[in-house]
């Protein structure tokens, strides 16, 4: 049997998310509506799709390990220097490298109970000690996060704004105030995967070189490139430079770099997608309300619907929707797990949801 190192040997084999493909193979049927993974069913920019097709002919070449052109474009987009930008294999890949850079075995890390689980996965893999605080009013609680950070002398504290899985958000001023109260030994990991969908007031005014925070962004959501696995971090130059010590230098492929660069340059398509998502959020909320579910406010590309019970009821509803050919997900921790989470999608998929939801509820 393979000899594992002590830390992974002590961990369970864990898959943070069961993919819809796995469920389809298990059931023997394809989903009619794929509304669970917070992907963009509205697709990528046509310019991005064309750039990726054109890049296929050069796929025999290794990609630029520095993502030079994309890094320059991102720096211009954010009013930063290239030294403030690190491109990586989506936020998940960047989080993994960040944790390996900053968390030694036994180091404390703070997050929220029910927040994005892949971050926890990386902390466990590095031997860090994860401390969790509860949500407050279906939103991550900056005050509780700071209190726990001070109490355990945490190296990292994680917060997503807007939040996954609830869709809630804090004003940017709240995040700025949180930074001012952050202990000097701690780094805020600010996950902004859904920033493009959020109101402008939700985005904090943080200098790219601020050493107290690293901000994570992605092309998976609003830009519609989830399958390309590409994202980026914004942070202080010394921290960004440190990524070169551990990262997979050829991890971001040539096709993904071409697509992301073209997507970034097509802000008109981004505005179109954001408008489509806003309309889809409204429709999901109406579909839920028409069936006795309570929609929560959302600044993301999904809506959390309170199913009016506990986690067992929500799990049963998710399973019932799967049986109806509709893929959705739900939060994993109480009391958030009283909800199901439905991703925004095109009109035909929401038509399917509207027909399937009452049948699924009847199954309960």
Half-sphere exposure of residue 56, counting CA atoms within 13 Å on the CB side?
6
Q: For residue 299, what pLDDT is reported?
A: 98
- The Cα 31–Cα 53 span in angstroms is 27
* Its pTM surpasses 0.85: yes
For 46-265, give the CATH class. alpha beta
Q: Pick 154 or 14 by higher pLDDT.
A: 154
Question: DSSP character for 292?
Answer: T
187-213 confidence digits (pLDDT tens): 999 999 999 999 999 999 999 999 999
2-14 confidence digits (pLDDT tens): 789 999 999 988 7
The rounded mean pLDDT for the chain is 97
Output the DSSP codes for 238-304: HHHHHGGGTS-TT-S-HHHHHHHHHHHH-HHHHHHHHHHHHHHHHHHHHHHHHTT-EEPP-SSSEEE
Report the Cα 264 to chain-centroid distance in Å.
18
- Residue 250, pLDDT above cutoff 70: yes
- The Cα 282–Cα 298 span in angstroms is 10
> 313 Cβ partners below 8 Å, 6+ apart?
307, 338, 364
Exposed (0-12), middle (13-18) or buried (19+): which is 151, by Cβ within 10 Å?
exposed
Q: For residue 340, what pLDDT is reported?
A: 98
Domain ranges for the chain:
13-43+268-363, 46-265
- Residue 160, pLDDT above cutoff 60: yes
Q: What is the CATH number of domain 13-43+268-363?
A: 3.90.1150.10
- The Cα 260–Cα 324 span in angstroms is 35
Q: For residue 125, what pLDDT is reported?
A: 95
- Residue 1, pLDDT above cutoff 70: no
Whether the Cβ atoms of residue 110 and residue 133 lie closer than 8 Å to each other: yes
């Amino acid at each position: 049997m393979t000899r594992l190192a002590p830390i992974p040997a002590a961990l369970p084999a864990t898959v943070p998310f069961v993919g819809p493909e796995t469920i389809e193979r298990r059931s023997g049927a394809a989903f009619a509506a794929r509304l669970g993974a917070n992907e963009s069913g509205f697709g990528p920019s046509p310019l991005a799709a064309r750039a990726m097709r054109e890049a296929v002919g050069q796929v025999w070449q290794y990609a630029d390990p520095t993502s030079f052109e994309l890094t320059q474009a991102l720096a211009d987009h954010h009013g930063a220097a290239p030294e403030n930008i690190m491109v990586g294999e989506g936020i998940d890949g960047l989080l993994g490298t960040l944790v390996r850079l900053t968390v030694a075995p036994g180091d404390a890390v703070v997050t929220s109970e029910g927040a994005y689980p892949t971050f926890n996965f990386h902390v466990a893999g590095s031997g860090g000690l994860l401390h969790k605080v509860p949500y407050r009013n279906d939103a991550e609680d900056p005050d509780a996060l700071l209190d726990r950070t001070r109490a355990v002398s945490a190296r990292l504290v994680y917060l997503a704004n807007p939040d996954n899985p609830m869709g809630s958000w804090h004003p940017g001023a709240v995040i700025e105030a949180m930074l001012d109260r952050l202990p000097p030994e701690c780094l805020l990991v600010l996950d902004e995967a859904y920033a493009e969908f959020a109101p402008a007031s939700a985005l904090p005014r943080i200098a790219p070189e601020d050493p107290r925070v690293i901000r994570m962004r992605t092309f998976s959501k609003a830009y519609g490139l989830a399958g390309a696995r590409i994202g980026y971090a914004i942070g202080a130059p010394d921290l960004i430079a440190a990524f070169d010590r551990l990262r997979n230098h050829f991890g971001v492929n040539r096709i993904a770099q071409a697509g992301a660069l073209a997507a970034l340059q097509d802000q008109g398509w981004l505005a179109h997608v954001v408008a489509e998502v806003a309309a889809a959020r409204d429709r999901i909320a109406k579909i839920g309300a028409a069936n006795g579910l309570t929609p929560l406010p959302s600044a993301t590309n999904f809506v959390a619907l309170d199913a009016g019970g506990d986690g067992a009821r929500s799990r049963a509803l998710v399973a019932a929707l799967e049986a109806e050919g509709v893929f959705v997900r739900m939060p994993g921790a109480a009391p958030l797990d009283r909800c199901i989470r439905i991703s925004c999608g095109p009109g035909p998929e929401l038509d399917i949801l509207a027909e399937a939801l009452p049948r699924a509820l009847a199954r309960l």
